Structure 1
Amino acid sequence: MPDVIEKAREAVHERAELPGMSLMEHLTELRSRLIHSVVALLICFAIAYIFHEKLFSIVTFPIDSLNYKLHYTHPTDPLNLYLKTSLYGGAIIAAPYILYQLWLFISPGMYQNEKKYVIPFMLATVTLFFGGAWFGYHWVLPSALKILIGDFGHRFLPIITIEDYNSFFLSIIFGLGITFELPIVIFFLAIFGIVDGKFLIRHARYAILIIFVIAAIICPLPDALSMTLFASPMLVLYALSIGVAFVVAPKKKELTEGK
């Protein structure tokens, strides 16, 4: 861990030597990017709300297929669910533009040759997130509902509120979507010289332990087999991240010379 901190400090110092903007210019740029992102999110939220019934059907399909009805305890719960569904749907629609704004904010601190990664960065980020969401929606969520309600709870009458289901749905879908972004995180750490492929292999046992701890936390099922299956895609992503780090590392010197 100390060597990672030291490498991070060196990377920050190295980037600080790049010709860049002052603190006020950075704050102004951040403000501009945030405004653009919020406006895009609001527009996409409005578009998503037009189709809120369709979005609601997509969200509730896993539990509808088990013939369970959702309940609510407050008169505003259905409206809040439609609003939240539309907001999350709008966020997904606006995600590529928001990512582009993020890239525009961090790009001044990058070497010229590193900026060519903008398109692969956006494509990989969106693809990995949707890959994780798809895995959660089509495999983890239906299996979890079937086991938790159908197997463990078959002797009881389930009273599932729309708030409870919505939180459960989001924890799985967004949790896995964010988890699948691991190669992107490793990519930037490798670009900045903080980690490399050899470092990731050398500390693989710690990474595996952390992955299983995360799987135990976010896995909705209590058995070890389900936790292992939940951790499997993260282990594959870690292996992919090692490959990404090995690909990026040889280009580090070239990128530095092209600043």
Structure 2
Amino acid sequence: MAKVNVPRPAEMPFLDHLEELRWRVLWSLLAVIVCSIGGYLLVQHMRVMQLLIEPIQPFLNGGKLKYLSPTDPFFLTLKLALATGLVLASPIVIYQIWSFLAPALMPSERRVIVPSLYLGVVLFIVGVVMAYELVLPMTLRFTMNFQTDFLEQNIVVGPYMSMVMRLLLGFGIVFELPVVILILSAMGLVTPQFLASKRRHAIVGITALASVLTPGDVITVTVMMMLPLILLYELSIFLSRLVVRRRENLAAAPAD
């Protein structure tokens, strides 16, 4: 049977590529600025900071988090506003990146990558929610009850918020593993056979990553991080098989 030869889109001149890239970057920066202004309003009126402080409230014995400089609350609010703005602007930034790269992709690759972007949003939200609802409270229970006979707590808001944001974003980014594997498989850069052969190496890496992201009890917090990552890796192998099988079926289909 004859193979279907799908022609690549016509190439754009290099200077036109640079001009388009410039406008894509400008629109992305404008989206980040506008969304950061909206993020500032959300932080001020939607109790974003209070929401992030809430998990540690039971360990403060009725007290409040401390700050060391008169400008700390203001700059901390700006940092939260910028982080919120980046999250709000991410769909626009992803759209700009996709619009720039899509003309260079084949239709079969676009049909795989577009749904994977929606999947990535869902997985990111799941990772952040899991970190906030499960991992962060367990981490605080372990760390706040460690060496309490010799040390007295004096929690500063800046380092605490940095720890919380690293944990939430770390889980959200790590949960993007199936999306990355799906896109790499669609582009032919990885195969399910390669992923399956590296399963043991992946488990070792997942264990190390879980130990770094979750500074808590190995039996509870770290294992809770490891299990979803292992399941996500297996899901990545399954999605990669689907992509490769679809590409092989398209290549073996008879020409019209």
Using the size of structure 1 for normalisation, the TM-score is 0.85
Q: Read off the aligned partner of 2:146 and give its amino acid letter.
A: F
Q: Which residue of 1 aligns with 2:228?
A: 233
Structure 2 residue aligned with 1:78: 73
**Structure 2: stretches of 5+ with no match in the other structure:** 1-7
Greater RCO (Cα-Cα under 8 Å, separation 6 or more): 2
Give the AA of the match of 1:61: E
Tell me the distance in 2 between the aligned counterparts of 1:229 and 1:117. 30
How far is 1:164 from its partner?
0.5
- Indicate yes or no: 2:28 matched with 1:37: yes
Aligned residue pairs total 241
Does 2:142 match 1:147? yes
- In structure 1, the gaps of 5 or more residues are 1-16
For residues 128 and 135 of structure 2, the distance between their equivalents in structure 1, rounded to whole angstroms, comes to: 10
Cα distance change on mapping 1:60 and 1:211 into 2, 3 Å: same
Q: How big is the shift at 1:64? A: 2.1
| Distance change (3 Å), C-alpha of 1:127 and 1:81 | same
Whether the 8 Å contact between 2:112 and 2:183 is mirrored in structure 1 is: no
8 Å contact 1:55–1:86 — kept in the other structure?
no
Residue 5 of structure 2 is matched in structure 1 by none
Aligned to 1:113: 108
What is the alpha-carbon distance in structure 2 between the residues aligned to residue 255 and residue 60 of structure 1? 52
Out of 198, 202, 205, the residue aligned to residue 207 of structure 1 is 202
Cα displacement string for residues 57-94 of structure 1 (whole angstroms, at most 9, x for unaligned residues): 11111112433521111111111111111111111111
- Picking from 92, 96, 99, the partner of 1:97 is 92
Cα deviations by residue, 1:1-22 (Å, 9 ceiling, x for unpaired): xxxxxxxxxxxxxxxx763234
Structure number with higher helix proportion = 1
Classify 1:148/1:113 alpha carbon distance in 2 versus 1 (closer, same or farther; 3 Å): same
- 1:118-137 CA-to-partner distances (Å, cap 9, x unmatched) read 54233111111111101111
Equivalent-residue separation in structure 1 for 2:200 and 2:88 (angstroms): 37
Deviation at 1:23, TM superposition (A): 3.4
- Alignment partner for residue 136 of structure 1, among 131, 135, 160? 131
Question: Does the CA-based 8 Å contact 1:114-1:255 persist in structure 2?
Answer: no
TM-superposed CA distance for 1:206, in Å, is: 1.0
Match for residue 157 of structure 1? 152
Shift in Å, 1:252: 2.1
What is the Cα deviation at residue 224 of structure 1? 5.4
1:246 and 2:241 aligned? yes
Matched AA of 2:59: L
Q: Could you say if the C-alpha distance between residues 195 and 56 of structure 1 is closer, same or farther in structure 2, counting changes exceeding 3 Å?
A: same
Report the 3-state secondary structure (helix = DSSP H, G, I; strand = E; otherwise coil) of the residue aligned with 1:87.
helix
Deviation larger for 74-83 or 118-127:
118-127
TM-score (normalised: structure 2): 0.86
**1:62–1:142 Cα contact (<8 Å) kept:** yes
Distance 1:27 1:256 in 2: 34
The alignment partner of 1:95 has SS state of helix
Hey, what's the Cα distance between the residues in 2 that align with 1:96 and 1:245? 24
Aligned to 1:88: 83
The C-alpha deviation readout for 1:128-178, integer Å capped at 9, x for no partner, is 1111101111111111111111x2143332111111111100111000000
Structure 1 residues 257, 192: CA separation in 2 closer, same or farther (over 3 Å shift)?
A: farther
Q: Supply the RMSD in Å over aligned alpha carbons.
A: 2.1
Task: Give the 3-state SS of the residue equivalent to 1:97 in structure 2.
Answer: helix
Task: Give, in whole Å, the separation in 2 of the partners of 1:44 and 1:135.
Answer: 25
Q: Higher Cα Rg: structure 1 or 2?
A: 2
CA distance in 1, matches of 2:31, 2:132: 26
